[in-house]
């Protein structure tokens, strides 16, 4: 089989949230700004030049950049504008795989006769996004998804990088391993301990040694990616395999009140989104980030798929408590919940009371059905009168300002 050409595009809007704020308010253009307040959720490139980054406390950001301007953010505008960018991609090919609000993969292998070479298509997309929407966008073009994503990172800000198949090894060899998918600070440190700092070093390393250092799955995956092996196709139109939300905040002791409010808020957001799609999930995962950016995760697979807010909150509280038991003195900076193994749930299937040990988390029991019914009523009220019309008391009456779900990955990713 002939090796395919460089037909996969990774399009990534530059400093998206901050760029939108500068688009909406021209007086913010060219000056350092940050979206957020107590925590920096996104920073403009002008702010990044001073070292300001997502996940940083507002106080630290102001110390680095005294002239920093904070803006609250326009959530509805972010989604609307990002959707317009995705429409531009969709004008070129139906094979668009959106992986976040502001980035997507495209496969343009079938678009050549209409629109030209992949490099020409990428340049036209960038021109249209700038002219029609007013935002900078970086695009990487390559043979595989992994290479295209790295190329778009190299292209930032506001650039285009095309990696032809015959130049892949030369392109990757000098780049830092931190650009690779799946290489976070911990993995980067482990690799550095063995003298592996570039992708070229990683490609030359013994695969067996990497598996011993990083584990079977991670070692095998990174060895393959460093060798430019990535068979994953662009999958357009996929349904989400999970739903999640997280909330970042300045470091706080893990008090019962804090946990109840944040977990309640996140469970409410996820539960309402699941029900709006008529879906439910069996696996609940929590992410707990402590001061110093050290994170732990805990998960459990339930006997039946759930979407009820209070059930999600109860399960998440148990998982968070287990995580905190291993770190009793640590302050928190982020809590996150995700639900996976999703299935369709057009209606609730009731169950007989059999006295099972897990009935508390089964949605079809009397208690589970009551929770589901309450949520359905709340969803109907919110649909008519707005989300703030009704809510659970521990969240609705809280004075805490929550980081919106639309920002759920910005504390770690702000490109």
Task: Please list the active-site residues.
Answer: 103
Q: Say if residue 157 is preceded by a cis peptide, omega within 30 of 0.
A: yes
Return d(Cα 121, Cα 407) in angstroms, integer. Answer: 30
Return d(Cα 151, Cα 141) in angstroms, integer. Answer: 7
Contact 57, 250 (CB under 8 A): yes
* Structure tokens belonging to residue 264: 């309640």
* Structure tokens belonging to residue 343: 């299935």
Distance of CA 88 to the CA centre of its chain: 22
Three-state DSSP class for 34? strand
Residues whose CB is less than 8 angstroms from the CB of residue 79 and which lie 6 or more positions away in sequence, other chains included = 101, 406
* Structure tokens belonging to residue 227: 């060798």
- 129: closest CA among 12, 9, 10, 6? 12
Tokens 């460089």 locate to: 6
Would you list the DSSP string of 365-383? SHHHHHHHHHHHHHHHHHH
Total Cβ atoms within 10 A of residue 44: 27
* Structure tokens belonging to residue 190: 């482990």
* Structure tokens belonging to residue 355: 């006295």
Tokens 């070692």 locate to: 219
Residues whose CB is less than 8 angstroms from the CB of residue 61 and which lie 6 or more positions away in sequence, other chains included = 34, 40, 43, 47, 52, 68
Contact 77, 21 (CB under 8 A): no
296 exposed, middle or buried (CB, 10 Å; 0-12, 13-18, 19+)?
Answer: middle
């Amino acid at each position: 089989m002939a090796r395919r050409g460089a037909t996969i595009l990774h399009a990534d809007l530059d400093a998206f949230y901050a760029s939108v704020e500068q688009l909406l308010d021209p007086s913010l253009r060219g000056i350092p700004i940050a979206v957020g307040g107590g925590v920096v959720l996104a920073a403009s490139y002008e702010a990044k030049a001073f070292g300001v980054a997502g996940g940083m406390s507002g106080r630290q950001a102001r110390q680095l950049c005294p002239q920093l301007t904070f803006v609250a953010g326009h959530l509805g505008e972010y989604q609307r504008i990002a959707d317009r960018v995705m429409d531009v991609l969709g004008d070129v090919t139906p094979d668009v795989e959106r992986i976040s609000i502001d980035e997507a993969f495209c496969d343009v292998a079938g678009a050549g006769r209409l629109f030209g070479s992949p490099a020409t298509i990428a340049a036209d997309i960038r021109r249209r996004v700038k002219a029609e929407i007013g935002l900078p966008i970086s695009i990487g073009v390559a043979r595989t998804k992994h290479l295209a994503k790295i190329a778009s990172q190299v292209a930032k800000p506001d650039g285009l990088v095309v990696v032809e198949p015959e130049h892949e090894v030369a392109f990757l060899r000098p780049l830092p391993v931190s650009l690779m998918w799946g290489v976070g600070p911990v993995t980067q440190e482990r690799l550095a301990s063995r003298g592996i700092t570039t992708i070229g070093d990683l490609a030359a390393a013994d695969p067996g040694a990497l598996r011993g250092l990083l584990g079977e799955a991670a070692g095998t995956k990174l060895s393959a990616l460093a060798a430019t092996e990535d068979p994953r196709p662009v999958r357009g139109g996929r349904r989400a395999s999970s739903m999640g939300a997280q909330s970042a905040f300045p470091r706080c002791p893990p008090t019962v009140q804090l946990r109840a409010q944040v977990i309640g808020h996140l469970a409410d957001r996820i539960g309402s989104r699941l029900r709006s799609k008529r879906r439910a999930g069996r696996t609940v995962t929590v992410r707990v980030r402590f001061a110093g950016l050290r994170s732990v995760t805990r998960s459990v697979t339930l006997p039946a798929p759930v979407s009820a807010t209070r059930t999600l909150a109860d399960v998440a509280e148990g998982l968070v408590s287990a995580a905190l038991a291993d770190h009793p003195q640590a302050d928190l900076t982020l809590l996150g919940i995700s639900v996976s193994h999703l299935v369709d749930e057009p209606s609730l299937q009731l169950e007989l009371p059999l006295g099972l040990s897990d009935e508390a988390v089964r949605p079809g029991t009397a208690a589970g059905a009551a929770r589901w019914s309450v949520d359905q009523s709340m969803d109907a009220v919110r649909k008519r009168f707005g989300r703030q019309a009704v809510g659970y008391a521990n969240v609705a009456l809280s004075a805490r300002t929550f980081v919106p779900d639309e920002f759920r990955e910005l504390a770690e990713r702000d490109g």
